Amino acid sequence: MFSGLSLLSLVIWVPIVAGVAVLATGSDRNAGLARVLALIGALAGLVVSLPLYTQFDTLQAGMQFVEISPWIETFRITYHLGVDGISVLFILLTSFTTVLVVIAGWKVIEKRVAQYMAAFLFMSGLMNGVFAALDAVLFYVFWEAMLIPMFLIIGVWGGPNRVYAAVKFFLYTLLGSLLMLVAFIYLYSKVGTFEILDFHRVSLTMTEQILIFFAFFMAFAVKVPMWPVHTWLPDAHVEAPTGGSVVLAAIMLKMGAYGFLRLSLPIVPDASHALSGFMITLSLIAVVYIGLVALVQADMKKLIAYSSISHMGFVTLGTFIFNAYGIEGALVQMISHGFISAALFLCVGVLYDRMHSRMIADYGGVANTMPKFAAFFVLFAMANSGLPATSGFVGEFMVIMGTIKINFWYAFLAAITLIFGASYTLWMVKRVVFGAVANDHVGKLADISSREFLVLGLLAVAVLAMGLYPLPFTEVMHHSVSNLLSHVAQSKL
Amino acid sequence: MTFVAPNLIPALPEIFVLIMASLILVADLFLSDRNRYISYILTQLTLLGAAWITISSGSADAVYTFNGMFVGDVMANVLKMMTYLAVAAVLVYSRSYIQLRNLFTGEFFVLVLFAMLGMMVMISASHFLTLYLGLELLSLSLYSLVALQRDSAQATEAAMKYFVLGALASGLLLYGMSMIYGATGSLEIGKVAAAIQQGGANKTVLTFGLVFIVAGLAFKLGVVPFHMWIPDVYQGAPTAVTLFIGSAPKIAAFAFVMRLLAEGLNGLVHDWQGMLMIMAVLSMAIGNLAAIAQTNIKRMLAYSTISHMGFLLLGILSGTLNGYSSSMFYVLAYVLMSLGSFGMIMLLSRRGFEAENLDDFKGLNQRRPWYAFVMLLIMFSMAGVPPTIGFYAKLSVLQAALQAGYLWLVVFAVLMSVIGAFYYLRIIKLMYFDAPLDQAPLASQPDAGMLISLNGLAVLALGILPQPLMALCAYSIQKSLL
């Protein structure tokens, strides 16, 4: 249908062009048109990204759908795109999530609709760009440009404390990213190009590797976010509108871990090995400590935000144990968390739209008035706590399997958190969904509309499908991951 | 002794501008206030004519004339073209603003043209005296432009400060030049460079002279610790004049630094590198930190200028062709952003109201979404966030500094730009997150409105495809300095 040559460009530019079209509808008098255009744009984005999966050669480890053309010759920067088994699934996830977010914001957003929808479409294209870019400057451009729409989404459509959250989000991320830029420039001065694949091959001394590792670490750890640079996330999540939280949790957090896999590990393998203890420690702190923090949250969005940090701890843990189980587990966990966290934030959004409260204490017995919703909420909560047959189980199980080969106690600590995960999620569900109807407001709640049912239903299918039959996901990444591992095993010294 | 007529071709644009400025000065006397727009049109035509002459008379190789005092080379031609463009934009943005403030007079246009002539002479100078001549012509015109609003105490005070400090800086510069003359026996830039290269010159006198020259340059660029005049002048001057001071003269100042340091005193590169480094560090730190505390947007942008000039120095102090062309790119990018930001302030102003407080930007997205979007692009560009031209400007100077081995300087610059991002974000916050304080409809200014759209789109378009401008900068530096 589409030529393999320009597929990735389409995936990036279709949503952006659609975003411009949506923006052109102007004021809220044309809100209906803006919504329809946005949905068409998001669906078109999804349609053009599907061939990436169907035409993907799972037996090949290298880059596919490669596009390359000169861009800024002065610095030998190229417009170089390509995906491998590590990145392709994220592009699909991004396009899929964009459709959900557009539908989820259909009725809820009434102010400046065109700008809201356009921001998500721009972000979709830019995020796809991050996953497809193979030139460091191109990667950086997408990586940073993506902050602009997110900043506006939190700041314009967010909650009462939105300005603080938006600025904190932006500056935190910017600081990390700029150090990564310095690392890129340094590598450029050694290599002479900004090609990420050339960066993979350049040999570096241990000092250089350590410094570059920390420069990358600043960018990616903030994004993941890892303990102790996670403090922007709860603020951003709580203040962001539902759509913003969904994109933030489902995709933006994955970029940090993706950065570790695409840049840190292959460019500075020796430093990554040397500092793996450090990374594993931080990951375990995130998994255990943040899990405990999540337990005491009174605000549902905050609870899910902390749960995200804890789950992302599994991802970084899997990344830095250097075996196939760990990395594939991390990737599966990222995709799965993309579905589950999106679903949970949407569920909270559904409640918030009706009650204008995110406090657990304001709810109770929701199942009596919203049975369909309760079913979905319980399913996603189970998935979040890693119940077998849901996608949440697969990734965590693989990471724990990988970890146990390295060190029993690491695996033990990681496994303990499955208990924490179950406690904070299920306890929240218990207090919100079950029991007697807590107050009149809950008594008057209307169950989910067909629009909300569609969004949650799609996610439920994804969560169950991935939990029951993860092979289509893992076979895509398999060769790329083993290629990455063999690359990382070679010293660059 | 025979008289040989100098080759006038390289100086044709200057001659043309001089003639036209004098012509407008005289013609304006005979125009009634109602027909004043004729002076405006004549000024714009002058710029157009100068551009045409520059293009048709320019050559790819350097041509010296007036006994080596004046040079026409690619760098000069490119920078002059950019100067015309910037001045033309200044005039379009200012038109309605100065009309409403009774500044729409012949003097304004004549002074602008003389200031531009000064810039052109600076850009093409290849002799210390020519440089000084151009600089003084520019400065004197600017002093009077700042004071043009005679009944404004603030403007007069700003003009006084500017004049006194500017005169001091000129004195320093002249003193430094005399030292260099004493050490090398020449004022011609090429000969000075050769004399320093041969090594016969007295090193102490040279270094002493260099210090004074760098101090003078720093004043004209407005970098710390010679920055005191910038905030006061930017705030005190009528916004139209601030826009003018903040745009085209930066191009001339860049040329000035190139001619003096990169061409004339290249042999002392290790001496001036250190000085520029200190100034760059201080400018980036003080400019960015002080900008956070401002509530007046003109003053805030003044401090932002200081920090941008600090970044500009990063490229120059790396002392390589790569660094110089990066700085050239930076200065052009900066001028583009500066034009847009001050232009926007004037677009939001109206009779008796100056939109110069940060709060005047509140809720702009609800009043005029398109203007807010343009300003958003400009602010992100100033902060160096892609995909805008400001990012590539930062990228190119940072890579130049890093190639020259100043890793710590690059890291410092990066940290400072995070601080800088804070106050640019604040403007975006005011425009997008806050409700408007002021519901008065914005005056419709079709020409300025069109230009600000073009300006904003240029910031974005050059951010997506920066290659042509980068290549142009690299080419002109290569042609002029090799």
> Is the CB of residue B379 less than 8 Å from the CB of residue B388?
no
Residues 31-90 of A with CB under 8 A from B: 71-75
Q: In 10 A of CB B227, how many CB atoms?
A: 25
Put simply, the answer to whether B407 touches A179 (Cβ < 8 Å) is no
B28 to chain A, closest Cα gap in Å: 45
- The token pair at B418 is 């995070």
- Contact residues on chain A for B415, CB-CB shorter than 8 A: 175, 178
Residues pairing with B105 in the sheet? none
- Contact residues on chain B for A27, CB-CB shorter than 8 A: 369
Put simply, the answer to whether A188 touches B410 (Cβ < 8 Å) is no
Best residue of A138, A142, A174, A207 to probe chain B, by most B CBs closer than 10 Å: A174
Best residue of B433, B453, B472 to probe chain A, by most A CBs closer than 10 Å: B433
Put simply, the answer to whether A170 touches B471 (Cβ < 8 Å) is no
Domain regions of chain B by residue span: 9-54+62-481
A154 touches chain B (CB under 8 A): no
- Contact residues on chain B for A147, CB-CB shorter than 8 A: 385
A172 to chain B, closest Cα gap in Å: 9
Put simply, the answer to whether A72 touches B467 (Cβ < 8 Å) is yes
Put simply, the answer to whether A178 touches B392 (Cβ < 8 Å) is no
Put simply, the answer to whether B429 touches A166 (Cβ < 8 Å) is yes
Put simply, the answer to whether B391 touches A141 (Cβ < 8 Å) is yes
A156 to chain B, closest Cα gap in Å: 5
DSSP string for residues in B390-430: HHHHHHHHHHHHHHTT-HHHHHHHHHHHHHHHHHHHHHHHH
B389 to chain A, closest Cα gap in Å: 11
- Contact residues on chain B for A26, CB-CB shorter than 8 A: 369
C-alpha distances in angstroms, A81 versus A41, A87, A121, A195, A229?
Answer: 22, 11, 20, 10, 30
pLDDT on residue A5:
57
A177 to chain B, closest Cα gap in Å: 10
How far apart CA A88 and CA B121 sit, in angstroms, is 57
Put simply, the answer to whether B398 touches A148 (Cβ < 8 Å) is no
How far apart CA B416 and CA B283 sit, in angstroms, is 10
Smallest Cβ distance to B422: which of A73, A152, A171? A171
- The token pair at B204 is 């102490």
Mean pLDDT by 10 residues, chain A (493 residues): 67 90 82 86 89 84 85 87 88 91 84 88 92 92 91 86 88 88 90 88 88 91 87 87 88 90 90 89 87 87 89 88 87 90 89 84 82 88 86 86 86 84 87 81 81 88 88 84 84 78
A189 touches chain B (CB under 8 A): yes
Put simply, the answer to whether A145 touches B386 (Cβ < 8 Å) is yes
How far apart CA B21 and CA B16 sit, in angstroms, is 8
Put simply, the answer to whether A178 touches B474 (Cβ < 8 Å) is no
- Contact residues on chain A for B417, CB-CB shorter than 8 A: 178
Put simply, the answer to whether B467 touches A151 (Cβ < 8 Å) is no
Smallest Cβ distance to B414: which of A73, A74, A178? A178
- Contact residues on chain B for A74, CB-CB shorter than 8 A: 396, 467, 470-471, 474
Put simply, the answer to whether A72 touches B470 (Cβ < 8 Å) is yes
Smallest Cβ distance to B432: which of A75, A145, A156? A156
- The token pair at B232 is 């006061």
A141 touches chain B (CB under 8 A): yes
A144 touches chain B (CB under 8 A): yes
- Contact residues on chain B for A78, CB-CB shorter than 8 A: none
A415 to chain B, closest Cα gap in Å: 39
Smallest Cβ distance to A178: which of B376, B418, B432? B418
Put simply, the answer to whether B471 touches A74 (Cβ < 8 Å) is yes
Which residue from A353, A332, A367 is spatially nearest to A462, judged by alpha carbons? A332
Best residue of A74, A130, A172 to probe chain B, by most B CBs closer than 10 Å: A74
Put simply, the answer to whether A140 touches B386 (Cβ < 8 Å) is yes
- Interface predicted TM-score (ipTM): 0.89
- The token pair at A372 is 């369909």
Smallest Cβ distance to B429: which of A137, A147, A163? A163
pLDDT on residue B1:
60
**What is this structure's pTM?**
0.92
Which positions ≥6 away from A469 have C-beta within 8 Å? Answer: none
Which residue from B428, B279, B225, B283 is spatially nearest to B341, judged by alpha carbons? B428
Q: Is A51 exposed, middle or buried, given 0-12, 13-18 or 19+ CB atoms closer than 10 A?
A: middle
A415 touches chain B (CB under 8 A): no
A141 to chain B, closest Cα gap in Å: 5
Rounded to the nearest 5°, which phi and psi values hold at A112?
Answer: 45, 55
Amino acid, res. B102: N
B14 to chain A, closest Cα gap in Å: 32
Positions in chain B short of pLDDT 50: none
* Residue entry with tokens 């570790």: A260
Put simply, the answer to whether A73 touches B395 (Cβ < 8 Å) is no
Sign of CA dihedral B132, B18, B66, B48: positive
pLDDT on residue A124:
92
Put simply, the answer to whether B433 touches A115 (Cβ < 8 Å) is no
Smallest Cβ distance to B417: which of A112, A137, A178? A178
B402 to chain A, closest Cα gap in Å: 7
Put simply, the answer to whether B421 touches A179 (Cβ < 8 Å) is no
A204 touches chain B (CB under 8 A): no
Amino acid, res. A366: V
Find the closest chain B residue to A211 by CA distance: B407
